[in-house]
Amino acid sequence: MTAEELAALQAAGITAPPQVAVPAAVTPAPVAAPPPVAPVAATPATPDWLPARLEQAKRAAQLETAKQLGFESIEEAEAFTKRAREAAEAAKSADEKQADRLRSLEAEAKKGEEALKTVKLMADNEYGRLTDDQKTAVRQIAGDDPSLRLRAISALQSVWQNTAPRTVAPAVSSAPPSAAPAPAGSADGGPGVVAVDHAAEYQRLRTVNPIAAAHYLDRNFAAITSKHAKP
């Protein structure tokens, strides 16, 4: 404020505001440096003795477990475990083989069922074309078995085709009137030989042993079919 301005203020009765003293700048005291820290020696991450101690503790625990299971040593327990594992693998392989065998048998059985259906269809078709007498002959030989019916029909076809109605002249005996009658059963097999009725024997076997009857039919098929053949 100038002197003139101050004088004007005094003339007007206004007192000038007191002057405020400005403190001098304070200089901070210097900070002492911290004492040096001594370096610490580096500690190794894993001591040299630790792996051996850990392995020793592991073996001790394994041995204790083996003894609790009834084994004298760890090696004995490991050998038993190996044998058990091998036995389990062998059993698994046997089960797999058995399962494969069952699947194969099921497939074969299915094929057999389909083949039997086909044979039955063919047998029914051929049987339906026969006359009543021919059907009777086939039933007496084969019964209700479709495969045997087909074989019987096939064998009898030639008999039926070659058999034609004909007149048979009465037989003239050349034996003297006083000749003795031939021994029983010698008509087909010669003196003293009893002729075998293959058809009757086959029917008997069918009632007591169907398997034996099938073999008997195979051995004497011609005789059995000719016995029942009708034109």
Per-residue pLDDT tens over the stretch 152-197: 888 888 777 765 454 444 444 554 444 444 444 444 445 545 577 8
Q: Specify the higher pLDDT residue, 83 or 11.
A: 83
- In a domain, residue 30? The reply is no
- Let me know whether 208 and 153 are in one domain: yes
- In angstroms, the CA 152 to CA 127 distance is 10
202-211 burial: b if 16+ Cβ within 10 Å, else e: beebbeeeee
Q: How confident is the model at residue 41 (pLDDT cuts 50, 70, 90)?
A: low
Note the pTM of the prediction, 2 decimals.
Answer: 0.32
- In a domain, residue 6? The reply is no
Give the total number of structural domains in the chain.
2
- Let me know whether 81 and 136 are in one domain: no
- Let me know whether 62 and 105 are in one domain: yes
Looking at residue 64, its pLDDT comes to 87
Query: What is the extent of the structural domain holding 223?
Result: 130-161+199-231
- In a domain, residue 192? The reply is no
- Let me know whether 146 and 225 are in one domain: yes
Looking at residue 172, its pLDDT comes to 46
- In angstroms, the CA 2 to CA 17 distance is 14
Query: Would you call 162 exposed, middle or buried from its count of C-beta atoms within 10 A (0-12, 13-18, 19+)?
Result: exposed
> How many other C-beta atoms are found inside a 10 Å radius of the C-beta of residue 119?
15
Looking at residue 79, its pLDDT comes to 92
Q: Specify the higher pLDDT residue, 37 or 174.
A: 37
- In a domain, residue 214? The reply is yes
* Residues with Cβ within 8 Å of residue 149, at least 6 apart in sequence: 123, 126, 127, 138, 142
Residue 192's region, left for phi above 0, alpha for psi from -120 to 50, else beta, is left
- Let me know whether 136 and 58 are in one domain: no
Q: Which amino acid is at 112?
A: G
Looking at residue 224, its pLDDT comes to 78
> Average pLDDT over the chain, rounded to whole?
74
